[in-house]
């Protein structure tokens, strides 16, 4: 099984009440038995703690037979700090302006030095002056920037059903990006 990560991220830099929303989503996932209620050492992040995969995950996966049951890294990690979520391998750092449609990737990704500490949530296109929240720009590869993220360790090959993704986005209150990361 893969150690790749499937990450769901709201497309908003500052999700309001992000810690509360994280708890509510986790409670919902536990009630659905998608993940277990108590964290164990089945994660890859800080301290390796995550919420282990539950039997209900079979109902929300596109390919349930590919879920990481029995694998050392199979849990959900919930991140409630400002993070940049991009693929780690083969990411081209390409971004486009939704207004003028020009390539602005280098300037955009350089600006994340100001975004990361929370100095700003916005970016201004150097080509046309259009300003928008960083998640409002165009990306050729899925990525997102937020203070809330849900990392499903080893779930990439199983995938998530579109109906689950819709329910998840509805519960978080914002559209979500699905980012795949290779450790």
Model confidence pTM above 0.85: yes
Q: What is the pLDDT of residue 88?
A: 85
Domain boundaries along the sequence of the chain: 5-83+145-181, 92-139
pLDDT tens per residue, range 14-30: 999 999 999 999 999 99
Tell me the DSSP string of 26-44. HHHHHHTTSEEEEEES--S
pLDDT category at 1 given cuts 50, 70, 90 is very low
pLDDT tens per residue, range 53-103: 999 999 999 999 999 999 999 999 999 999 999 998 889 999 999 999 999
**Using the 8-state DSSP alphabet, how is residue 66 labeled?**
G
- Predicted confidence (pLDDT) at residue 3 exceeds the cutoff of 90: no
Instruction: Take residue 154 and report the two structure tokens written for it.
Output: 């080893």
Q: Which of 100, 103, 121, 104 is nearest to 112 (CA)?
A: 121
Residue 63, number of CB atoms within 10 A of its CB? 10
- Predicted confidence (pLDDT) at residue 5 exceeds the cutoff of 90: yes
């Amino acid at each position: 099984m893969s150690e790749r990560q499937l990450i769901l991220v709201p497309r908003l830099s500052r999700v309001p009440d992000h810690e509360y929303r994280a708890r509510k989503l986790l409670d919902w996932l536990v009630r659905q038995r998608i993940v277990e209620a108590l964290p164990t050492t089945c994660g890859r992040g800080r301290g390796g703690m995550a919420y282990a995969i539950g039997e209900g995950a079979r109902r929300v996966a596109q390919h349930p037979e590919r879920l990481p049951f029995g694998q050392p890294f199979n849990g959900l990690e919930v991140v409630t700090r400002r993070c940049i979520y991009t693929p780690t391998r083969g990411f081209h750092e390409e971004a486009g302006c939704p207004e003028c449609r020009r390539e602005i990737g280098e300037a955009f990704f350089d600006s994340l030095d100001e975004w990361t500490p929370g100095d700003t949530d916005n970016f201004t296109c150097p080509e046309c002056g259009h300003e928008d929240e960083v998640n409002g720009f165009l990306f050729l590869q899925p990525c997102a920037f937020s203070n809330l993220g849900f990392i499903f360790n080893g779930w990439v090959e199983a995938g998530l059903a579109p109906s689950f993704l819709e329910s998840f986005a509805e519960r978080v209150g914002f559209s979500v990006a699905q980012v795949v990361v290779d450790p």
